[in-house]
Structure 1
Amino acid sequence: MDYSKEHIKSLAKGLGVVIAVNELAPARVSSLVEQTGLPKPTLIRILNTLVAEGFVENRPRGEGGGYAPTPKVRLLASAFAEGTLLAQAAQPVLNNLCEETKWPADLLVRDGLSMVIEASNRLVAPIRLKRFEQKRFPLINSSSGLALLAYLPKKECREVLTSVLAHGVPNGQSPVREEQVAGWIEETKKAGYASWEYDAPIQGTRVYSLPVVDRGRPIAVLTLVTLRDVLSQTKFETDLLPFFSEAAAEIAKRVSR
């Protein structure tokens, strides 16, 4: 009898449950059944295995109950970062960053006239927010784009900005003037970081961004995804910005080794 297909199916089911627990934590069995489509007995067996192996914890009723991922899930998250050397260098830093800030963070790189997510700690961040539907963000009208533009050499920044404005902004976004973007860039330089607010995926989503600078050039942008009504800008600057800046510097250090 060929067991290979059965083994693959079992692994796929287990990984699906890990993903569901991450998204729904603290997750009830009923919610996990609905999310995964697995029969309840099968789901319970998988959960018991994940608990036994230390990837998931079954919280006591006094703590609200439900299943939640443990820090051991980082081992899985790190495995997904093998796409590029930059992602490999950044992933451990991102995972450590969420211990200090609790909020999810992403690392983005420039791809043409867009910024693209290269690595993330969303699988292990204690605070779980609904993800953006897209993984690409415009160079203007985004926190990551402004952070990159602000730290490019002036001539290169002007050239990129001219190209972006010539192509126009994506559908659904308000048109902007060069003077307006220049003002945002100056504000970013003055503050030392960029910020941008979004009405989706959650109204009041506020993203902070810092460039990862190597040899005087921004090679990537580190972003922290927060909620405006939960974390004020003043609180971000006093409590989280030091950790955020340290993480950006550490990524640059690892890349330049």
Structure 2
Amino acid sequence: MSESSYHSVRGLERGLAVLRAVNALGHATSVEVASRTGLPRPTVHRLLETLRTEGFLRRTSLRDAYRLTLKVKSLSGGYKDEDWITDIADAVLAELCDEVVWPTDITTYEDEGMVIRSTTHYRSPLSIERSWVGRQLPMLSTAAGWTYLAFTPAKERKAILERIATVPGPDQEKMRDPEAVRRALAATRRRGYGTRQRELMAKTSSIAVPIMNGAHVLGCVNIIWIDSAMAFDVATRRYLPVLQHAATRITAAYQALTAT
């Protein structure tokens, strides 16, 4: 890296530090920002004025004090709630795959289905099904779908079920018997995880657990195995604790990420 490039990167780092300091303080003078960041006051003043000129800060009625403007929100315009997965889940899934070998996925809800956001199918030597990032799966034919519906708040669950009942496909067929769906969801909540036995993918079975943040379901993590290779109850006993631990780790990492 050239010296000029290095200084440019340092300038960006310092600008972000100043922006974070103003955000944390609510409104701040250059002296307060310098104290918080450890940067020289002349440098802080230049960065504050640059951010003000670009519209991300404004002066308050207090002398030399700055506040964030609404323009700061534009920085998050391209960020989706699911993008946290690339920051957290890939590493957790890689370790999970090393431990269990069978393929695993992380999915989130979108447009009446569960969308695969991260997967180890491509690296697991035991994978026999195609699974790729961005693939959408039906709610009521997958362990992840049952899990998401079972643990999401009742109001959201009701709205999702009403929507999928109007969309042609396997979910709509199951919604012809809403009482059976209600019983299955209640059973999923009681045991704490969702299941799929052969359905949808005829040679495999799976279980899934929710990734919770308080009452909110961030997504689900599942494991898939060849059904003829292992009895369902054996696989559940062996892998459920591992999945639950992975979900706990993802939740903790997510909370740490969003707290910064």
Aligned residue runs from structure 1 range 1-257, under 5 A: 84-132=83-131, 135-170=135-170, 176-198=176-198, 201=201, 203-257=202-256
Residue identity (%): 20
Structure 2: how far apart are the matches of 1:87 and 1:198? 29
Provide structure 1 residue ranges, at least 5 long, that are not aligned to the other structure.
1-82
Structure 1: how far apart are the matches of 2:221 and 2:173? 23
Shift of residue 171, structure 1, vs aligned partner: 9.2
Structure 2: how far apart are the matches of 1:148 and 1:235? 23
Shift of residue 204, structure 1, vs aligned partner: 2.9
CA deviations 1:53-98 (Å, max 9, x no partner) are xxxxxxxxxxxxxxxxxxxxxxxxxxxxxx9222320011001111
How many residues are aligned here?
174
Relative to structure 1, is the Cα distance of residues 242 and 120 closer, same or farther in structure 2, using a 3 angstrom cutoff? same
Structure 2: how far apart are the matches of 1:232 and 1:102? 17
Counterpart of 1:152, as a letter, is T
Structure 2: how far apart are the matches of 1:200 and 1:189? 22
Q: Residues 166 and 172 of structure 2 are in contact (CA less than 8 Å); yes or no, is this contact kept in structure 1?
A: no
Counterpart of 1:159, as a letter, is A
Relative to structure 1, is the Cα distance of residues 166 and 102 closer, same or farther in structure 2, using a 3 angstrom cutoff? same
Relative to structure 1, is the Cα distance of residues 132 and 89 closer, same or farther in structure 2, using a 3 angstrom cutoff? closer
CA deviations 1:158-200 (Å, max 9, x no partner) are 2221221133435996664211211111121122111113366
Per mean C-alpha deviation after superposition, the further-off stretch among 172-181 and 213-222 is: 172-181
Counterpart of 1:91, as a letter, is D
CA deviations 1:206-252 (Å, max 9, x no partner) are 12111111122111111111122212222123221111110011111
Larger-gyration structure (1/2): 2
Q: Residues 206 and 227 of structure 1 are in contact (CA less than 8 Å); yes or no, is this contact kept in structure 2?
A: yes
Determine helix, strand or coil for the equivalent of 1:84.
Answer: helix
1 or 2, which has the higher helix percentage?
Answer: 2
Q: Residues 116 and 137 of structure 1 are in contact (CA less than 8 Å); yes or no, is this contact kept in structure 2?
A: yes
- Aligned twin of 1:10: none
Structure 1: how far apart are the matches of 2:197 and 2:246? 22
Determine helix, strand or coil for the equivalent of 1:213.
Answer: strand
Q: Residues 102 and 223 of structure 2 are in contact (CA less than 8 Å); yes or no, is this contact kept in structure 1?
A: yes
Determine helix, strand or coil for the equivalent of 1:243.
Answer: helix
Relative to structure 1, is the Cα distance of residues 173 and 100 closer, same or farther in structure 2, using a 3 angstrom cutoff? farther
Structure 1: how far apart are the matches of 2:224 and 2:240? 13
Structure 2: how far apart are the matches of 1:239 and 1:159? 35
Determine helix, strand or coil for the equivalent of 1:256.
Answer: helix
Shift of residue 125, structure 1, vs aligned partner: 2.4
Relative to structure 1, is the Cα distance of residues 85 and 216 closer, same or farther in structure 2, using a 3 angstrom cutoff? same
Structure 2: how far apart are the matches of 1:185 and 1:128? 28
Structure 1: how far apart are the matches of 2:224 and 2:106? 11
Shift of residue 138, structure 1, vs aligned partner: 1.4
Counterpart of 2:146, as a letter, is L
Relative to structure 1, is the Cα distance of residues 100 and 130 closer, same or farther in structure 2, using a 3 angstrom cutoff? same
Counterpart of 2:154, as a letter, is K
